[in-house]
Structure 1
């Protein structure tokens, strides 16, 4: 049978897709070679000026090839981010030679398909060694797994752009000697997942984690009289719906996770905020060294003395040392009514002078002070290039 015109076009597209993958793999290998040079010569990972020049050139070449500038920009933002994160991972591994394990035992909330599972897969895909997944039922269990050396790492959600901070995790960090060694931000895309063909009007019961219900409160309000059942994880919700095989129940979770349980999405984008992301901490028993070429964050906890302006005085220390605070969170101190423990994230490396100066100053003016971790920042800001300006320079 002769090939149809449509079939011939599709076959050509398939060939081009394979070629694109081969070229992307080759490009990634070359960026790894660039990282080797940066390690030897102590050059920072990011060269924003070089990235801007690259995007301007690519936008112009894309226009000549009939490609939309925004399309070109979007593609290369992803490629640049991948390059930066891979180079950061390489530098971090070289700075911590004993941290590379043949088997990474990682504890996280839920089972396959949970958002913590997807974040774990994403983070450790850039790290050498086989991944051993250890799903847990609670944040306390996750932390205990690492404390007892039953796991090497834990992945903990710390905040969400829609529902805010996850207080239970902050409380766990207050009472552990584990160190934060990494972070990542993962997009959260909630979908309504069902096991059998049905429609929204038929749904009588919804299963999800409490944080998920909080992030989808507007959607729940629109549903009206639907029973809500909270589960200890998103994966538990999906497993329940998969096992019951009824057309009047649904779970809320990611479509990718639902596929692992044979579920299908009948409605997507359920979150109150359409740009919905969760930030995760990666913790272990041993802190890591972050090379100065890699953008770093530091997380500390402290309690201030009981006097007016004590917190302002502490925060002024960061300002005086030109350290950018990215997060401030307070939690009650158990047994001390009306007293708070403050968690602070700021941009900076423990090996850098301004951070060392700030920490020494804070230790002198606080009742309690502890560094929870210094770790590579995985928030790669897209390189800003206005397509119109790039084309105007032609």
Structure 2
């Protein structure tokens, strides 16, 4: 059965590039303009798996996406990192001085804030997707308007790159998750990373006790992210990523954490891609 992969954004978006790198150039994709629509489609079975950005090395975590994964009982079955190269593009024959407005995804604009400080005449407007803006400019023939997107988007939609690599930090990279309705079983494949979500009793040392278990079972914690629990003011849930060498030891650790936490949810086990 052919896989259909859901992506946030149009062809030429960074989600599309990740899908091609992870699944192959000929991957069949379904485009969605919001993460909410993407998840809804995955839950409904319209796509087999989906690509979802989760954090950027400059702008940080995309917190609502953690909630979407958790609330819809989705599983993380893989991850992929991609360098983010932001470019300013517009219809051919224009210069930066003639550009009045730039539309792009808010994360993209945030990553390029230093560049736009040097071009105060340009008004920045947040939009749903980097590549979708490029597509719209080309379709409407919009002058004096530019997009911030990938070189692939410029090529696909016939736009001219006015300025290359305008992101502030040249080491800029984004981590993407591969999500599914079904969890990934080892089945002989390398599985050495996991994403967890847990809630703790509000008492002194509860988080330290959990972290000690992670240490005692020789797991390397690569990320910890707290999120407020809406229904319980001043109480937090924790999203944690861990790497491990022994899957059976990881399972033993989870059995212990199941007892120590008020709620434990293994969001997924998969292969570490770094």
TM-score bracket relative to the smaller structure: over 0.9
Matched with 1:229 is 125
Partners in 1 of 2:113 and 2:252 — Cα distance?
Answer: 44
Matched with 1:344 is 240
Alignment partner of 1:148 out of 21, 44, 57: 44
Partners in 1 of 2:142 and 2:188 — Cα distance?
Answer: 55
Matched with 2:2 is 103
Using the TM superposition, give the Cα deviation of residue 132 of structure 1 relative to its aligned residue in structure 2, in angstroms: 2.2
Query: Is 1:370 aligned to residue 265 of structure 2?
Result: yes
Alignment partner of 1:120 out of 7, 19, 33: 19
What's the secondary structure of 2:184's corresponding residue?
coil
Aligned pair in 2 of structure 1 residues 274, 184: CA closer, same or farther (>3 Å)?
A: same
Using the TM superposition, give the Cα deviation of residue 131 of structure 1 relative to its aligned residue in structure 2, in angstroms: 2.9
Q: Is the 8 A contact 1:302 1:366 kept in 2?
A: yes
Matched with 1:201 is 97
Cα displacement string for residues 266-288 of structure 1 (whole angstroms, at most 9, x for unaligned residues): 11111111011111100111111
Matched with 2:169 is 273
What's the secondary structure of 1:269's corresponding residue?
coil
Which stretches in structure 2 are left out of the alignment for 5+ residues?
none
Matched with 1:17 is none
Partners in 1 of 2:42 and 2:218 — Cα distance?
Answer: 35
Q: Is the 8 A contact 2:15 2:51 kept in 1?
A: yes
Matched with 1:360 is 255
Query: Is 1:213 aligned to residue 109 of structure 2?
Result: yes
- After superposing the two structures, state which structure 1 stretch, 330-339 or 351-360, moved more: 351-360
Using the TM superposition, give the Cα deviation of residue 246 of structure 1 relative to its aligned residue in structure 2, in angstroms: 3.8
Q: TM-score, normalised by structure 1?
A: 0.67
Partners in 2 of 1:304 and 1:333 — Cα distance?
Answer: 11
Structure with the largest fraction of strand:
2
Q: Which has the higher contact order (CA 8 A, sep 6+)?
A: 2
Whichever of the two has the greater Rg, that structure is: 1
Partners in 2 of 1:146 and 1:245 — Cα distance?
Answer: 34
Q: Is the 8 A contact 1:290 1:296 kept in 2?
A: no
Matched with 2:88 is 192
Matched with 1:138 is 34
Partners in 1 of 2:112 and 2:204 — Cα distance?
Answer: 39
Q: TM-score, normalised by structure 2?
A: 0.95
Query: Is 1:177 aligned to residue 76 of structure 2?
Result: no
Partners in 2 of 1:293 and 1:285 — Cα distance?
Answer: 19
- Structure 1 residue ranges, 4+ long, deviating more than 6 angstroms after superposition: none
Query: Is 1:317 aligned to residue 213 of structure 2?
Result: yes
Using the TM superposition, give the Cα deviation of residue 290 of structure 1 relative to its aligned residue in structure 2, in angstroms: 2.7
Partners in 2 of 1:342 and 1:160 — Cα distance?
Answer: 19
- After superposing the two structures, state which structure 1 stretch, 239-248 or 132-141, moved more: 239-248
Cα displacement string for residues 88-140 of structure 1 (whole angstroms, at most 9, x for unaligned residues): xxxxxxxxxxxxxx3111111011111111111111118xxx63210012111
Which stretches in structure 1 are left out of the alignment for 5+ residues?
1-101, 380-394
Using the TM superposition, give the Cα deviation of residue 293 of structure 1 relative to its aligned residue in structure 2, in angstroms: 6.5
